[in-house]
Structure 1
Amino acid sequence: MSDTTARVHELNLYRQYFDLVAAGTKTIEVRVKYPHLADLTAGDTIRFRIKGTDETCEVNVKRVTEYPDFEALLDSEGPDKVNPTATRDQQLANIRTIYPPEKEALGTLAIEIACHK
């Protein structure tokens, strides 16, 4: 029997992305498929924190979809859902600055989120 209790995951987020999440305009969070995210599932909560601050924003996880790389993720999910303030090419460059090729090779996750009301 599986445990159906929703979990809370704590993740750091850069200010520019935190503000988009808090405003509800960023509905897809992009992550590398690290082992600590392997059990992330719909119904869970993510508590985003700006590193070094007490500022947090909680969101509900609606869906988690795995992609082989960031290009496939952006093409499938739509760049406007990941960052409505940047073009697809800008986003790809920004994401790859955060996650180098060896991290991207682990697989990528599109996490559909909705702000707690």
Structure 2
Amino acid sequence: MTDSPAPVRQLSLHRRYFDLVAAGAKTVEVRVKYPRLADLAAGDTIRFRANGTDETCDVRVRRVTEYPDFESLLDGAGFPNVNPTATRSQQLADIRAIYPPEKEALGALAIEIERIGDQ
């Protein structure tokens, strides 16, 4: 019996974050610890799609680290890895504008990523 490759996960990104991933500048993606992401692991592939477009960018997951909240995540993962164009306080405000407190209460995932090939 052979192992089949893991499916490619499809996730959407706001344009500004998509552009940072595509440029290789954003190396940590922030997500809430939803049950559908519980088995995300190093070696998995994510296909990010820029919201409202057909534009995609494939990345490989290097590591997934769980944090109790977004502040801990930004400190532990290094906020410049999440968004090198914004301050820590601006990033925290931006993330919390996307995810309300009840979502943050589920826990936060820092997904360390690397682009796959030239796209």
TM-score, with structure 2 as normaliser: 0.93
Q: Which runs of 5+ in 2 are unaligned?
A: none
**What displacement does 1:31 show?**
0.2
Structure 2 counterpart of 1:66: 66
Check if 1:56 corresponds to 2:56: yes
Q: Distance in 2 between matches of 1:51 and 1:90?
A: 21
Which deviations, in whole Å up to 9, do the C-alpha atoms of 1:23-76 show, x marking residues without a partner? 000000000001111111111000000122110000000000000000000011
Task: Note the residue ranges of structure 1 that are not aligned, 5 or more in a row.
Answer: none
- Distance in 1 separating the partners of 2:7 and 2:74: 27
Shift of 1:4: 7.2
Corresponding letter in the other structure for 1:56: T
The Cα shift of 1:5 comes to: 3.3
Give me the whole-angstrom Cα distance separating, in 2, the residues matched to 1:18 and 1:115: 12
| C-alpha separation in 1, matches of 2:51 and 2:25 | 21
Structure-to-structure mapping, 1:86-101, within 5 angstroms = 86-101=86-101
Aligned length: 115
Report the identity percentage.
73
Distance, in Å, in 2 between the alignment partners of 1:51 and 1:18 is 9
Distance 2:7 2:113 in 1: 14
Q: Which amino acid aligns with 2:8?
A: V
User: Mean Cα displacement is larger for which, 50-59 or 100-109?
Assistant: 50-59
CA-atom RMSD, angstroms?
1.1
- In the alignment, what sits opposite 2:31? 31
TM-score (normalised: structure 1): 0.95
Matches within 5 A, 1:77-92: 77-92=77-92
SS of aligned partner of 2:30:
strand
| Aligned structure 1 segments of 4 or more residues deviating by more than 4 angstroms | none
